[in-house]
Amino acid sequence: MLRQPYAQLVAMKRWADSGLYEAANRNLDQLSPEDASIMFRILDHIHVVDRIFQHHLQGLPHAFRAARSEEMPELQTLANSTREVDDWYVSYVSSLEENDFEQPIDFVFTSGKPARMTRGEIILHVCLHGNYHRGNAGAVLQLKGIIPSRDGITDFLEAAT
């Protein structure tokens, strides 16, 4: 069944994003202003990319001119919005039919370059992009002696049992 790996990926993304926000919020006072700024920029970048591709999947225009916010939102605002978008992706994937994952979507990158990806490729990109940058955020925490949240697929599967 084609939907299953996508459903598992977006569910894992939602779980890992939640864990990262909890770790960041719990340890924010241990980060220097510079490290906190890096952490916020990473979290914001992940979220903005998620939102941009959410709009592409919906066939809707977005107002982002870059893969980051023009003004940095507060951590709790960003966490709440991330949770909403992650929930949307989980719901969206569960609503797709098997052949929908292969449907091409035409869109324009924030650079202005036209692009085409299938729905499945977009979902895969969102999940892999978030995974990569959660690793960046985890490294910021680790450099300060803070244990980041677990975010591997095996951790997700273990937590689900």
CA atoms within 13 Å, Cβ hemisphere of 151? 26
Q: 12, 24, 50, 4: which is closest to 140 by C-alpha? A: 24
Residue 119: C-alpha distances to residues 56, 72, 81 (Å): 9, 29, 22
Interval 84-90 mean pLDDT: 98
Position 4 pLDDT exceeds 90: no
Instruction: Answer yes or no: is pLDDT of 149 > 90.
Output: no
Residues 24-50, mean pLDDT to the nearest whole number: 95
Please give the pLDDT value at position 130. Answer: 96
3-state helix vs strand vs coil in the chain, percent to 5: 70, 5, 25
* Residue 46, H or E segment: helix 33-58
**Contact call for residues 68 and 45 (beta carbons, < 8 A):** yes
